[in-house]
Structure 1
């Protein structure tokens, strides 16, 4: 063991690891973040050793008192980046070395029958269980903001698009809620992930299990897990929970990216019915007039990084032999990075939507009568014309209007009747050209009518209430 740093291994080694290997191997800069989880797991492990009569009361008390002091010391010594400057290779070594300063030789008993393999996996899972709750809280807040705006702006009618071409009028609320439902699915997947995550690896040893008669169920419950991992080799070698989180984060970021793209487009001068607040916009160093949606663009860009992290870690796992391999050490770095990046994106999106303004007059001003072509076809269907025939008839109407240089609303009634008498009277035809009537005809569940949107709001508000309970 080096005189300069505390190591958990090395009894049969005659030479120190090279500096080049240490640069690649040492993980303290990353796993300092797990110090609370490492100490929490160590307290539980010491308690289980004590209850199974493998740790005396005196040693147990010394370890618990020492760990409490170590936790206070580490909180004090973390630098501005949340890292420790100790010389040890990882957080496990730091905690044990600092513990020995307070607990003396009692600290040497703490690692009895424990491996860094099951210790590290346990620490990571504990961190994830806590952090996913925080992520869920932020996502629920974002959904709440989106839902609240949808309720307040239910009377705003705006163009809906397919292929980025004007398609049909919709309520702006209907558009906003389409993303609320996507984010709700993300929360549901997060809940499912947390249930699978809540299995405790501690007590699995390096790969073969624990040789001491400890009660793993009791240990797991003391740490807040729902269950134990059923196989020790699986416990230390599987990182499926990391893959699942990274895949989830990538999908969630895709949803945020698509919302960001829509809002970026709608905030351009060409569309202009959304204006972003100063808090979530930036300017140009050259052009004084510029208001750039940099926050949304960064959210959009982050999705590519999160997709890359998800794919890269799966590539790391692809060819590994069973149980623990040091390749798996990258799991924490990539998990922390993805978590932080996504959390920032959710918060930026939350603030952007909460503070943006929607110009109702500009939104409705972007509508044109050609977007009611489907409504004309529906009017014919209600008079008994088969839809496929009605579709072609309205196509002929569009062609005739273009030839006359007018829009659908201002084409003379006689032109409609000449093409198809089933268009009815001029009064009946004029009723079609109403944005409010257009959106109100879509009353089926999930539609854009006021009642259908109101039902979506009620469902989401009830779900939000249940999730907050």
Structure 2
């Protein structure tokens, strides 16, 4: 068992205890961040006169060699080491001898792992944000192509008022736009460097923490060493942000699943994102959408697990915090996979525009506009509401849409109706007269699209 803290102990740690305590099986993905942080630390130590330039060069050369060998597969990260920090330091000492023993001067594994995690999460936030951008671009393309694609808007999963596919997709653009802004805000808030906090109380060495922070691309050092080693708020924020992203993907997936059903037939999912049945040859299942919906709970679980782990931990560092990594890694990997596949599914999905329009016509989504027609002829809305309700019952009985009901049937119920009622309740009129900001009308939608395009240009 390779460990760097055995001087105080008189016997070996029990193997089961050692295995239970070790983190190398999952924190080995930090190897690049650990080496990057160590190089910055060594550069700072030499700048402060704590190491000689010769020692600095030997250590950096050794660290860069380890990095190259790991990435080229020449060096395997062995589970005989307790954690990635032990692996890097022990390998360095084995390769360059005495200078390698000075690498850990002025730092603890507490601030080292805090740094590694921040560096890793910072990189992952950037990659996650790029994937959110791909979702936004896919949505924007659909919107631009479907400004005049009419469909029913729903409340309570019942047809309510006519909208366009562009308008419906715009709601998801807003959701993922907020996701981008949350990730951006998280990146800004987490971008402080814990290295130099030591175990919890700093160090007596004259470290230049500002210099180390600059080398690693941080805005500056953390301002309290106890918080520096025990802060996991940024992980909770990330898992919260990922949970919201997954919730948005899950809602979107649910609609894709419904729209793909035989009853709706609004969309055709590309074969590459579907599977068949082992027994029913006619089936084409929306598996990717269903899996995204299912995996949302997995990310929620990571957030709840870390919240529960952190809720009773006193200052400063405690071993419980080691539990942060596997949950965070799994949630990040899950969200990245879901975002990637969902974007691909969106880009390849075909929309049945005729079916959508017909569904809006036969769902009485223009009933409100029929009532507004009477209001514009001087009738109180509540009376108009009741009259149109009678019209809808008549249409249901005749199994026709409002725009198929003969004028004489309209006039039997209310003489105020004239021939222009058909223009007033056409889907084009119902949608395009809605011109307030955020509405589905063409004029409003063109203004919104212009803002969205500008937003993506500045992303």
Given the two structures, how large is their TM-score scaled by the length of structure 2? 0.96
Matched, 1:84 2:77: yes
CA distance in 2 between counterparts of 1:369 and 1:416 reads 18
Matched, 1:35 2:31: yes
Matched, 1:381 2:404: no
Matched, 1:22 2:15: no
Residue of structure 2 equivalent to 1:207 = 200
How many positions carry a matched residue from both structures? 458
CA distance in 2 between counterparts of 1:407 and 1:277 reads 32
Root mean square deviation, CA, Å? 1.7
Residue of structure 2 equivalent to 1:163 = 156
Structure 1 residues 241 and 341: alpha-carbon distance in aligned structure 2, compared to 1, 3 A threshold: same
Q: Deviations along 1:13-48, whole A, 9 cap, x unmatched?
A: 122222222222111111111111100100011111
Aligned equivalent of 2:431, options 439, 455, 466 = 439
Q: Deviations along 1:292-334, whole A, 9 cap, x unmatched?
A: 1111111001111111111111000111111100000011211
Aligned with 1:290: secondary structure?
coil
Residue of structure 2 equivalent to 1:462 = 454
Aligned with 2:223: secondary structure?
coil
Q: Deviations along 1:94-137, whole A, 9 cap, x unmatched?
A: 00011112221101111012001000000110111111111111
- Judge conservation of contact 2:436–2:444 (CA < 8 Å) in 1: yes
Residue of structure 1 equivalent to 2:443 = 451
Residue of structure 1 equivalent to 2:115 = 122
- Judge conservation of contact 2:92–2:100 (CA < 8 Å) in 1: yes
Residue of structure 1 equivalent to 2:44 = 48
Q: Deviations along 1:167-203, whole A, 9 cap, x unmatched?
A: 1111111111211110000000100000001000000
Structure 1 residues 255 and 44: alpha-carbon distance in aligned structure 2, compared to 1, 3 A threshold: same
Aligned equivalent of 1:255, options 240, 248, 252 = 248
Residue of structure 1 equivalent to 2:333 = 340
Residue of structure 2 equivalent to 1:61 = 57
The offset of 1:414, in angstroms, is 3.7
Residue of structure 2 equivalent to 1:331 = 324
CA distance in 2 between counterparts of 1:384 and 1:228 reads 69
Aligned equivalent of 1:391, options 385, 403, 427 = 385
Structure 1 residues 100 and 372: alpha-carbon distance in aligned structure 2, compared to 1, 3 A threshold: same
CA distance in 2 between counterparts of 1:373 and 1:77 reads 67
The offset of 1:162, in angstroms, is 1.1
CA distance in 2 between counterparts of 1:387 and 1:107 reads 83
The offset of 1:78, in angstroms, is 8.3
Aligned pairs (5 A) from 1:214-293: 214-293=207-286
Aligned with 2:159: secondary structure?
strand
The offset of 1:402, in angstroms, is 4.6
Matched, 1:12 2:3: no
The offset of 1:412, in angstroms, is 3.9
The offset of 1:284, in angstroms, is 1.4
Matched, 1:153 2:146: yes
- Judge conservation of contact 1:28–1:90 (CA < 8 Å) in 2: yes
CA distance in 2 between counterparts of 1:399 and 1:149 reads 36
Aligned with 2:344: secondary structure?
helix
Matched, 1:420 2:411: no
| Structure 2, unaligned runs of 5 or more | none
CA distance in 1 between counterparts of 2:422 and 2:56 reads 85
Q: Deviations along 1:393-436, whole A, 9 cap, x unmatched?
A: 3223334545666543344434433433433x2x2112123111
The offset of 1:77, in angstroms, is 3.6
Given the two structures, how large is their TM-score scaled by the length of structure 1? 0.94
- Judge conservation of contact 1:37–1:123 (CA < 8 Å) in 2: yes
Structure 1 residues 413 and 19: alpha-carbon distance in aligned structure 2, compared to 1, 3 A threshold: same
- Judge conservation of contact 2:369–2:430 (CA < 8 Å) in 1: yes
The offset of 1:443, in angstroms, is 1.0
Residue of structure 2 equivalent to 1:178 = 171
The offset of 1:369, in angstroms, is 5.8
